[in-house]
Amino acid sequence: MSGTPILERRHDMGSGFPTLLRKELQRFWKVGFQTIAAPVLTSLLYLLIFAHVLEDRVQVYEGVPYTAFLIPGLMMMSMLQNSFANPSSSLIQSRITGNLVFILLPPLSHLEIYGAYLLAAIARGLCCGVGVWLVSMFFIDLPVHNAAWLIVFSALSCGVMANLGIVAGLWSEKFDQLAAFQNFLILPATLLSGVFYSIHSLPAFWQSVSHWNPVFYMIDGFRHGFFSASDVSPWHSLAVVTAVFVILSIHTLRLVARGYKLRN
């Protein structure tokens, strides 16, 4: 039928979802030195440099050392960047090498394809975040005020970037297009979102600009889980991040259901 999506599920065959999910998990786990250890090392270098320079000069929250303030931001930055990288790099590599067809042939619905890439991306992001946390323990004892906030903001934020990664992977036909997506959108959004500072230290105009950056709410809400202190209400941050996740999920699902660029 002309109106039938190209990825409609064939119910007479078994699901390939577990296989695709396992493939995406193994894809980053087997090269963990590159996909997990390297981002953790990058965050460690940020921590060493900024903590050494600003530890005695900056205090954002009362009673919270700058090193402690910095670590949640670095954790979230690592989680976001790697959640984006996992599905985007997987899809574009599959397209360039020509093995994308092996994802289209099995009895996979668009929900299963989307779910496999989403869950694998969240898993990689969480692994990187935990890695940064473990390394930071050698520098400072980081308290946890509310673990529920940490879990919710980690999962939703990684989910947001996973959706963007799927969209970028579907849209990009060459590695330089993917690099442009990452360098001109993802990287500025994460670095200019309060990772290294409180937005209250900015001029009024840039504070207003920061409030239009969804990544700011991801980091601020996540940081609240550690210190019970934040620049805006954690409930406000939760509402923004949840709304962004839902909107992006719907859009990404529609693209996958249509088979957007999957058969090109």
Lowest average pLDDT, out of 13-17, 36-40, 65-69, goes to 13-17
pLDDT band at 161 (very low <50, low <70, confident <90, very high): very high
Taking all residues of the chain, what is their mean pLDDT, rounded to a whole number? Answer: 87
Q: HSE on the CB side for 57, CA within 13 Å?
A: 6
Q: How far apart are CA 152 and CA 221, in angstroms?
A: 9
Is pLDDT at 12 greater than 70 in this prediction?
no
Is pLDDT at 206 greater than 90 in this prediction?
no
Give pLDDT, residue 2: 42
Structural contact between residues 141 and 226, judged by C-beta atoms closer than 8 angstroms: no
Q: What percent of the chain lies above the pLDDT cut of 90?
A: 52
Give pLDDT, residue 264: 58
User: What is the average per-residue pLDDT within 222-238?
Assistant: 93
Q: How far apart are CA 174 and CA 179, in angstroms?
A: 9
Say what the pTM is. Answer: 0.89
User: What is the average per-residue pLDDT within 78-83?
Assistant: 96
Is pLDDT at 79 greater than 90 in this prediction?
yes
Q: How far apart are CA 214 and CA 219, in angstroms?
A: 9
> 206: which residues sit within 8 A by CB, 6+ positions away?
199
pLDDT band at 109 (very low <50, low <70, confident <90, very high): confident
Lowest average pLDDT, out of 7-11, 123-127, 239-243, goes to 7-11
For the chain, the distance separating the N- and C-terminal CA atoms, rounded to the nearest angstrom, is 20
Q: How far apart are CA 36 and CA 83, in angstroms?
A: 11
pLDDT band at 158 (very low <50, low <70, confident <90, very high): very high
> 78: which residues sit within 8 A by CB, 6+ positions away?
39, 40, 42, 43, 125, 128, 129, 131, 132
User: What is the average per-residue pLDDT within 206-225?
Assistant: 92
Is pLDDT at 17 greater than 50 in this prediction?
yes
User: What is the average per-residue pLDDT within 125-142?
Assistant: 92
Max mean pLDDT among 10-14, 32-36, 203-207 falls in 32-36
Is pLDDT at 93 greater than 60 in this prediction?
yes
